[in-house]
Amino acid sequence: MFFKNARILTENGLEPFDIVVENGFVTDILNPAAEEKEVFSDGKAVISLKNKIILPGLIDVHVHLREPGFFYKESVKSGTRAAAAGGFTAVCAMPNLNPCPDSCEHLKAEEDVISRDAEIGVFPYACITEGERGEKLVDFEKLAPRAVAFSDDGRGVQNPAVMEEAMRRVKPLGKVIAAHSEDNSLLCGGYVHEGVYAAAHRHRGISSASEYKQIERDLALAKKIGHKHHVCHVSAKESVELIRRAKADGADVTCETAPHYLVLCDEDLREEGRFKMNPPLRGREDREALIEGLSDGTIDMIATDHAPHSAEEKNRGLEKSAFGVSGIETSFPLMYTYFVKTGILSLKKLAELMCINPAKRFSLDGGWLKKGSRANFAVFDTEKKYRIDAQNFLSKGKSTPFDGYEVYGECAMTIYNGRIIWQKNSTEK
């Protein structure tokens, strides 16, 4: 295939090059003046991408595919189709499944589904503790060759001694521990941020301390032990500052945040389940601190925490709805619209946050497109405005606080291993 007339994002910025793809790899990147007949004499497809941009395939290190165990919420097939529609060519699948991948046998159940149904690269997490109960550690040595990293996502490891021993065991394996940082003793039955909206509407609040106190604990352990530590879904200003200091002190720590924490705050809440996620939408000052953390490098990557649920589970209002929203199909357009178009971030910086840095930290195939690299990339239309319509999501989960938002940066095409696996307005997915 010969992809012409697009602008390609490279380390030097957007440049007008054409891409030749053969056998799953980029075999050439050409000056646009090259004659098509000189490139192909054997009739290979020529695809014009006028007014579009090409980025390396996006990577999301925090996605809930819900299978095995919760097929009604999402499946590997529906979740990876949705990811492809969002421009992603790789995702890391969180382990809160049934059975959860706390043994090689249980991990194989997930691997079998991935092998059968995944439409992009899917890299599974293994648990830190058996059943994610926070008590008995898994066999890290056996699981490490098959797991992208270790996490008890959805549940913070409450016992500091258990977490410390996990760090010591994982360190020589070279794997990342991705921490869901949440102190259960500080939750107090809350379900939205303990802020202005909770006070005004008499909702039980979740304090920021429930997040940052456990981050503080884990960062102290990380500095002591020296393993690769990653903090999931950072939402509080105190958390950003703690991570900033830990990095300055030499800790091997990275972190992620999600688009909803960067675009919204608790002042945007409504009495609807589509605004309920964990951590919750924090205050205005928290959002501002997160944006500062993006700009100064404290926050390393954008991850969606794509957490689909059934319509019935999300239609119970703020108090009773399940935690979690769908985000894999809206992540890039939201970040492009609110941060690149506004000049807060460069497009190159956004690509680093959504592809380059995740690939480096989790040892995944991904990086700037060049001759010889695997043909994993996404084509975006950044000039045309469109309206987010959750009912058109390919994900089974239709719950998002961004339904109806007008944005730029719709994914027009996704190429994985040299194959077009997603094309806007195509019946072939």
DSSP summary character for residue 327: -
Cα gap 300→251, rounded to integer Å:
14
Cα separations in angstroms, 348 against 118, 413, 415: 28, 19, 20
What amino acid occupies position 75? S
DSSP summary character for residue 231: E
Instruction: Spell out the residues 6+ positions from residue 202 whose beta carbon is closer than 8 angstroms to its own.
Output: none
Q: Residue-wise over 51-63: b if at least 16 C-beta within 10 A, else e? A: ebbbbbbbbbbbb
How far is residue 254 CA from its own chain's centroid? 14
What amino acid occupies position 341? K
In the numeric block, the tokens 């675009």 are attached to 263
Our CA dihedral for 177, 152, 241, 343, rounded to 10 degrees, sits at: 90
Cβ–Cβ < 8 Å for 267, 196: yes
Cα gap 177→183, rounded to integer Å:
17
- The strands making up 7-10's β-sheet, listed across from edge to edge, are 13-15, 7-10, 53-56, 377-387, 406-416, 419-423
Our CA dihedral for 338, 369, 85, 281, rounded to 10 degrees, sits at: -40
Relative orientation angle of helices 76-85 and 104-117, to the nearest 10 degrees: 60
Cα gap 36→219, rounded to integer Å:
55
Cα gap 177→127, rounded to integer Å:
10
Neighbours of 98 (CB within 10 A): 12
What amino acid occupies position 238? E
Q: Which residues are catalytic?
A: 305
What amino acid occupies position 410? E
3-state secondary structure of 195: coil
Phi, psi of 123 (to 5 degrees): -120, 110
